[in-house]
A and B are shown apart, each in its own frame.
Chain A
Amino acid sequence: MDSKRTRGHGINTIQINQAREIHAQTVRARDPRAQPRPVLHAPAINAPAPNRHICNNPNNPACAHCSAVIIPAPKATLPLEDTPSISIEDWTITTRKKPILNSKELDEWDRTLGGLTMPEMIFGNSFVKIENKKHDWCLEFNALDALKAVKVEDSGIRVSYANKWIKSKQAQQKSSELAESSLQIGQHYDWTYTTKYKGTIKSGTHNFTQDNSTALPLDKLSRPDPILFYDDMILFEDELADNGISVVNVKIRVMNERALLLSRFFLRVDGVLFRVYDTRVYVEFDENRVLREYKEHEADYKYVLSKNSGRHSRDPKAILRDSNWVAQQLPLVKRECEVLQF
């Protein structure tokens, strides 16, 4: 046996790099733009913006714009870290999606978040990060910090049939040995997991300045500029023992000149109420400007249900699961806007 061939990790690394090279060559070879094309007409005057973005992680399907990288793959096939990332000028946007927490991690979180019974699904190793390398500034959205913002006290909210339930138990109590303490809430925490989470500033001394008169430039954001990078993930979710849903979802889209992130807390307690708390982060790359808008929407269940009277679908409640539709129906309770200029 030639001992030189099985020596340590160096060779494996080289092999993996070679495999990556070959894969990248295959991807390039299949990109039609890499092939010489006949020129059919003179170049347009409004030439598209040059490709200035850098796709940072080769472990993904090809980017439609530069054939390098884009949208996160649903599942990594190699044991490589699946953290797609894109850089434009000084800005880098990175996302990571991982499975739900395991028991060991859950126990650790339990201690950290003392008093909160954990939601059913926590994607605790997933995140979305917006960084400005030059100014050493980083804003991250993650589940742990979102849950830290959940109150460990009585939310005052009860499921729709709570009264009926308690009354029937109290009636039973008189005639049986059911202990009085069993009708007391053992541990108070906000079981709706309502969170006013606006992201975590992970590094940098720069801070947002409140300026509620500022608005997001909807005209710019409505333009169908090509999306260079897109991701959509859930940070945590709980179905409230089938009494509705509580979920924090984060979406991000990056265009050549700007990026928009939406972190949405959506709550539906069946027969009781709806809440939509939205945090939008808008970055204009060339101006080095960040806008953070926070909005709270809330209304009771009946009000939202009545808005749906015009529809005659077989399942009238299906629409109540669509957070976009619900958000449009709910009155705005609170709005704040902050600006950060480097």
Chain B
Amino acid sequence: MKVDETIALLRQGKQVSEETVYTLCLRSQELLMSEANVTRVDTPVTICGDIHGQLHDLLTLFDKSGGVENNKYVFLGDFVDRGFYSLESFLLLLCYKLRYPDRITMIRGNHETRQITKVYGFYDEIVRKYGNSNVWRYCCEVFDYLSLGAVVDGQVFCVHGGLSPNVTTVNQIRAIERKQEVPHEGAMCDLLWSDPDEVSTWSLSPRGAGFLFGRNEVDQFLHCNGLELIARAHQLVMEGYKEMFGGGLVTVWSAPNYCYRCGNVAAVLRIEDGLSREYMIFEAVQAQDDVGNAIIPTKKPQMDYFL
């Protein structure tokens, strides 16, 4: 498998062979296996939120933020589901990681699991494109090896969802046995699922499972670990990013016009050497094929004689 050729194919949204996917996934696993649960990253770096299979917007993200040839990136997870190009988006990131291992960090999101991808589009996409689910299985194997977080210059903690009451220090995350399907409870689950909210202490979500955390928990975690900021994704924000709790936590969202109908803009967060923050905002592109036809179906309502 030639990585550069695969990258060129994927950037055009073209299908790669099942064998190529297999080799790519295997090599990615070998690479990810050696990574710690929490990766160390140096500035300058660009932190990116949810992608959700919006390949053309991912390409815009790279274009506008300088490209992987010259920059480092941390992706906060949720590469797949919802969009029409989950596979291409995920594989493109894997290829970049193989090609430039120290420039791409991939953190696991709550959508990088077998259970969720079966319901929210990735599985269906694979069966539609390949006629069987093999490729989906190869990708799920890779999901199990993705890291759980990253720390930028010892100051910015990156995670997909949020904090966990079981975790007070970053070192405790390093001790988690991560190479498995995301369990329904426990620290690993909380890191991928929990949400910040205006609560005074850890509290249970009204759904009956899952935690909400507030400013106190964030302040405490930052203080305990000598951190400045928690950068997370997981929740849709119209403006692409949202700072909370006096700037101690930020939600970064990188899928513009989410699901091709929300009309939101997207953002990535650039952390410079002096830890200064800069948000780069970008909009959705109208993807076109070689002859200029739109390739993402517009959500024009389909008339029907509903009763």
Contact = CB atoms under 8 A, between A and B. Distances in A.
Interface string A168-203: 110010001011011111111101000000000000
Nearest to A229: B303
Given A99-B264, A221-B307, A186 B207 contact: no
A182 B204 contact: yes
Interface in B158-186: 165-166, 184-185
Contacts, number: 147
Nearest to A74: B298
B301 A191 contact: no
Given A74-B300, A165-B185, A317-B119, A159 B307 contact: no
A84 to B, nearest CB: 11
Given A221-B307, A222-B305, A242 B206 contact: no
Interface string A102-126: 1100100000000001001100000
B209 interface: yes
Given A71-B301, A102-B239, A154 B201 contact: no
B127 to A, nearest CB: 6
B248 interface: no
A166 interface: yes
Contacts of B133: 314
Which among B193, B242, B299, B301 has the highest number of chain A CB atoms within 10 Å?
Answer: B301
B110 interface: yes
Given A74-B299, A189-B206, A181 B201 contact: yes
Contact of B184 (A165, A185, A216, A224): A165
**Size bracket, chain A contacts:** 35 or more
A314 B206 CA distance: 34
A230 B238 contact: no
Contacts of B120: 239, 242
A20 interface: no
Interface residues of B, number: 49
A101 B207 contact: no
Given A184-B203, A186-B203, A191-B205, A318 B306 contact: no
Nearest to B110: A242
A315 B127 CA distance: 10
Contact of B238 (A101, A179, A184, A270): A101
Contacts of B263: 98-100
B184 A161 contact: yes
B90 interface: no
B104 interface: no
Interface string A138-171: 0000000000000000110111011011101100
Contact of B207 (A221, A227, A240, A253): A240
B202 A179 contact: yes
Given A241-B193, A317-B119, A159 B305 contact: no
A28 interface: no
A336 interface: no
Contact of B124 (A164, A243, A318): A318
A161 B199 contact: no
B202 A181 contact: yes
A169 B202 CA distance: 13
B163 to A, nearest CB: 12
B136 to A, nearest CB: 11
Given A99-B238, A242-B110, A253-B305, A185 B203 contact: yes
A93 to B, nearest CB: 14
A182 B203 contact: yes
B291 interface: no
B208 interface: yes
Contacts of B238: 99-103, 106
Contacts of A183: 204
A242 B192 CA distance: 12
Nearest to A255: B305
B203 A187 contact: yes
Contacts of A53: none
Given A99-B263, A162-B209, A186-B199, A222 B204 contact: no
A100 B209 contact: no
A232 interface: yes
B13 interface: no
A158 B237 CA distance: 26
Interface of A: 71-75, 98-103, 106, 117, 120-121, 154-155, 157-159, 161-162, 164-166, 168-169, 172, 176, 178-179, 181-189, 191, 216, 218, 221-222, 224, 227, 230-234, 239-243, 251, 253, 260, 262, 270, 314-315, 317-318
10 contacts: A71-B300, A99-B238, A99-B264, A100-B236, A121-B258, A165-B184, A181-B201, A182-B203, A230-B303, A242-B120
A-B pairs with lowest CB-CB distance, top 7: A99-B263, A186-B203, A158-B208, A162-B208, A182-B202, A232-B301, A74-B298
